[in-house]
Amino acid sequence: MSDLTHFNGQGRSRMVDVTGKEVTHRTASAAGAVAVSPEVLERIRSGTVKKGDVLAVAQVAGIMAAKRCWELIPMCHPLALTGVDLSFSLEESPCRVVIRSDVSCDGVTGVEMEALTAVSAAALTIYDMCKAMQKDMVIGPIRLLRKAGGKSGDYCAQEEE
Protein backbone atom coordinates (compact mmCIF):
# COMPACT_ATOMS: atom_id res chain seq x y z
CA MET A 1 0.00 0.00 0.00
CA SER A 2 3.01 2.35 0.29
CA ASP A 3 2.58 3.40 -3.39
CA LEU A 4 -0.91 4.69 -2.69
CA THR A 5 -0.58 8.21 -1.37
CA HIS A 6 -4.09 8.48 0.07
CA PHE A 7 -3.91 5.34 2.23
CA ASN A 8 -2.28 4.97 5.63
CA GLY A 9 -0.38 1.91 6.92
CA GLN A 10 -3.68 0.21 7.80
CA GLY A 11 -5.01 0.67 4.27
CA ARG A 12 -7.46 3.38 5.34
CA SER A 13 -7.98 6.71 3.62
CA ARG A 14 -5.93 9.69 4.73
CA MET A 15 -5.38 13.25 3.63
CA VAL A 16 -1.91 13.54 2.12
CA ASP A 17 0.64 15.54 4.12
CA VAL A 18 1.76 18.45 1.91
CA THR A 19 4.01 20.04 4.53
CA GLY A 20 7.22 19.72 2.52
CA LYS A 21 5.83 20.85 -0.82
CA GLU A 22 7.00 24.09 -2.41
CA VAL A 23 4.61 27.04 -2.62
CA THR A 24 3.92 27.90 -6.26
CA HIS A 25 1.32 29.93 -8.13
CA ARG A 26 -1.45 27.56 -9.21
CA THR A 27 -4.40 28.08 -11.50
CA ALA A 28 -7.19 25.93 -12.86
CA SER A 29 -10.15 26.42 -15.17
CA ALA A 30 -13.20 24.19 -15.46
CA ALA A 31 -16.37 24.26 -17.52
CA GLY A 32 -19.79 22.71 -17.59
CA ALA A 33 -23.25 23.37 -18.91
CA VAL A 34 -26.91 23.18 -18.04
CA ALA A 35 -29.16 22.17 -20.94
CA VAL A 36 -32.42 24.10 -20.73
CA SER A 37 -35.48 24.71 -22.85
CA PRO A 38 -35.63 27.77 -25.13
CA GLU A 39 -38.25 29.27 -22.79
CA VAL A 40 -36.05 28.89 -19.72
CA LEU A 41 -33.05 30.29 -21.59
CA GLU A 42 -35.07 33.37 -22.56
CA ARG A 43 -36.30 33.84 -18.98
CA ILE A 44 -32.71 33.67 -17.70
CA ARG A 45 -31.59 36.12 -20.39
CA SER A 46 -34.42 38.58 -19.71
CA GLY A 47 -34.13 38.33 -15.92
CA THR A 48 -37.73 37.19 -15.48
CA VAL A 49 -37.18 34.03 -13.44
CA LYS A 50 -39.36 34.32 -10.32
CA LYS A 51 -36.52 33.46 -7.91
CA GLY A 52 -34.38 36.35 -9.18
CA ASP A 53 -31.26 36.95 -11.24
CA VAL A 54 -30.18 33.37 -11.98
CA LEU A 55 -26.66 34.14 -13.17
CA ALA A 56 -25.89 36.56 -10.32
CA VAL A 57 -26.93 33.99 -7.73
CA ALA A 58 -25.07 31.19 -9.57
CA GLN A 59 -21.96 33.40 -9.64
CA VAL A 60 -22.00 33.83 -5.86
CA ALA A 61 -22.80 30.14 -5.30
CA GLY A 62 -19.82 29.12 -7.43
CA ILE A 63 -17.45 31.45 -5.60
CA MET A 64 -18.69 30.27 -2.20
CA ALA A 65 -18.37 26.61 -3.23
CA ALA A 66 -14.80 27.05 -4.43
CA LYS A 67 -13.88 28.64 -1.10
CA ARG A 68 -15.48 25.76 0.81
CA CYS A 69 -14.42 22.88 -1.42
CA TRP A 70 -12.36 21.34 1.38
CA GLU A 71 -15.55 21.00 3.45
CA LEU A 72 -17.34 19.10 0.68
CA ILE A 73 -14.65 16.82 -0.77
CA PRO A 74 -13.10 14.68 1.98
CA MET A 75 -9.44 14.61 0.90
CA CYS A 76 -9.14 18.25 -0.23
CA HIS A 77 -6.96 20.64 1.73
CA PRO A 78 -8.23 24.05 2.84
CA LEU A 79 -6.67 26.63 0.52
CA ALA A 80 -6.24 30.39 0.69
CA LEU A 81 -7.61 31.15 -2.76
CA THR A 82 -6.34 34.36 -4.33
CA GLY A 83 -8.96 34.52 -7.06
CA VAL A 84 -12.23 32.90 -8.15
CA ASP A 85 -14.22 34.03 -11.18
CA LEU A 86 -17.11 32.51 -13.07
CA SER A 87 -18.41 33.46 -16.48
CA PHE A 88 -21.57 32.38 -18.25
CA SER A 89 -22.66 32.23 -21.87
CA LEU A 90 -26.17 31.57 -23.11
CA GLU A 91 -26.16 29.39 -26.21
CA GLU A 92 -29.10 28.86 -28.56
CA SER A 93 -28.09 25.63 -30.27
CA PRO A 94 -27.93 23.49 -28.30
CA CYS A 95 -29.97 25.49 -25.83
CA ARG A 96 -27.81 25.73 -22.70
CA VAL A 97 -26.06 27.86 -20.13
CA VAL A 98 -22.30 27.32 -20.33
CA ILE A 99 -20.36 27.93 -17.12
CA ARG A 100 -16.63 28.53 -16.78
CA SER A 101 -14.63 28.98 -13.59
CA ASP A 102 -11.10 30.29 -13.14
CA VAL A 103 -9.44 29.76 -9.76
CA SER A 104 -5.98 30.69 -8.47
CA CYS A 105 -3.85 30.51 -5.34
CA ASP A 106 -0.28 30.57 -4.14
CA GLY A 107 0.00 27.29 -2.33
CA VAL A 108 1.31 23.76 -2.02
CA THR A 109 -1.54 21.95 -3.75
CA GLY A 110 -3.56 22.61 -6.88
CA VAL A 111 -6.94 24.24 -7.34
CA GLU A 112 -8.50 21.82 -9.84
CA MET A 113 -11.10 20.59 -7.36
CA GLU A 114 -12.02 24.15 -6.43
CA ALA A 115 -12.58 25.04 -10.10
CA LEU A 116 -14.70 21.93 -10.67
CA THR A 117 -16.67 22.53 -7.47
CA ALA A 118 -17.39 26.13 -8.50
CA VAL A 119 -18.87 24.99 -11.82
CA SER A 120 -20.86 22.23 -10.13
CA ALA A 121 -22.40 24.55 -7.54
CA ALA A 122 -23.22 27.18 -10.17
CA ALA A 123 -24.93 24.52 -12.32
CA LEU A 124 -26.92 23.21 -9.36
CA THR A 125 -27.97 26.76 -8.51
CA ILE A 126 -29.21 27.33 -12.04
CA TYR A 127 -31.19 24.10 -11.79
CA ASP A 128 -32.63 25.09 -8.40
CA MET A 129 -33.69 28.53 -9.56
CA CYS A 130 -35.34 27.21 -12.75
CA LYS A 131 -36.79 23.87 -11.64
CA ALA A 132 -40.30 25.27 -11.25
CA MET A 133 -40.28 25.96 -15.01
CA GLN A 134 -38.44 22.82 -16.15
CA LYS A 135 -37.69 19.60 -14.30
CA ASP A 136 -35.75 17.83 -17.08
CA MET A 137 -32.77 20.18 -17.32
CA VAL A 138 -29.52 18.26 -17.80
CA ILE A 139 -26.28 19.21 -16.04
CA GLY A 140 -22.95 18.31 -17.62
CA PRO A 141 -20.50 17.40 -18.71
CA ILE A 142 -18.33 19.17 -16.16
CA ARG A 143 -14.61 18.95 -16.79
CA LEU A 144 -11.20 20.42 -16.12
CA LEU A 145 -10.07 22.65 -18.98
CA ARG A 146 -6.59 23.52 -17.78
CA LYS A 147 -4.31 23.68 -14.76
CA ALA A 148 -0.94 25.28 -14.22
CA GLY A 149 1.63 25.20 -11.46
CA GLY A 150 2.94 22.54 -9.17
CA LYS A 151 5.15 19.50 -9.50
CA SER A 152 2.92 17.64 -11.97
CA GLY A 153 3.13 20.51 -14.46
CA ASP A 154 0.58 22.05 -16.73
CA TYR A 155 -2.46 20.42 -18.32
CA CYS A 156 -4.68 21.63 -21.12
CA ALA A 157 -7.72 19.69 -22.35
CA GLN A 158 -7.64 18.67 -26.01
CA GLU A 159 -10.76 20.64 -26.90
CA GLU A 160 -11.12 23.61 -24.57
CA GLU A 161 -14.58 25.19 -24.51
Distance CA 96, CA 20 (A): 44
Query: Which among 42, 28, 32 has a CA at the least distance from the CA of 125?
Result: 32
Question: Which residues make up each annotated binding site for substrate?
Answer: 75-77, 113-114
> Hey, which residues does 139 pair with through a beta bridge?
34
Which listed residue (3, 53, 106, 128) is catalytic? 128
Annotated binding site: 75-77, 113-114
Nearest to 44 by CA among 84, 87, 93, 89: 89
Q: Is-catalytic flag, 53?
A: no
- Residue 70's nearest CA partner among 18, 141, 15 is 15
**Which residues are designated catalytic?**
128
